[in-house]
Amino acid sequence: MRDLLDEWPVWAVFGTLWVAATGRGLLLYSLGRGVRAGGARSRLAHHLDRPLVARAERLVRRVGPPAVTLGYLTVGLQSAINASAGLLRMPPRRFLPAVVLGGALWAVVYTTVGFAVVDAVLGRVPWWTVAAAVALLAVVAVLTTRLRAGVAADVATTTEADPG
């Protein structure tokens, strides 16, 4: 995989990874839809008509697309999310944009920092580079936490001063 990064232009690596990620998502969604259609014709079909399943399908239609897109930023969940979207019959018009965007996010991550993380884990990166990256992430986490706490305090003060 390292040869791919070294020999190909960045746009080609990104494009290849995007097509692969999007294709995998579409394949898993299609498999989920197929399993659902087969289940509807089986002796277990009466389980698919339960209120709990209908409620889950409504939830997936409402919040599913962001879950599909953000699922590409997780390790191990993206396949389950895409298959579940198919099983719970997320409409294709909502799934397709989410999977295209999620595949692009995944490709950006792996085209840029993803392989750097792999190199760090395999010991191909000097220790000080890894330490600097961890320190930078810690600083960002601390600043984000403090900013959120400050905004929450400002909102609480504003709410108390002007109850509406």
Using the 8-state DSSP alphabet, how is residue 125 labeled?
S
Q: What confidence category does residue 159 fall into, taking pLDDT thresholds of 50, 70 and 90?
A: low
pTM score: 0.65
Tens of pLDDT, residue by residue over 57-83, are 777 777 788 888 888 888 778 888 888
What is the model's pLDDT at position 138?
A: 86
Average pLDDT over residues 54-58: 74
pLDDT value at 163 more than 60: no
- Structure confidence at residue 152 as a pLDDT band (50, 70, 90): low
Query: Quick one: how far is CA 35 from the chain centroid?
Result: 23
Could you tell me the residue ranges of all domains in the chain?
2-114, 126-164
Rg (the chain; Cα; Å): 22
Q: Which amino acid is at 112?
A: T
Residue 152 CA to residue 157 CA, distance in Å, equals: 9
Q: How far is CA 89 from CA 22, 98, 140, 157, in A?
A: 18, 14, 39, 44
21 or 147, higher pLDDT: 21
Question: Residue 23 has what pLDDT?
Answer: 96
What average pLDDT does range 142-162 have in this prediction? 70
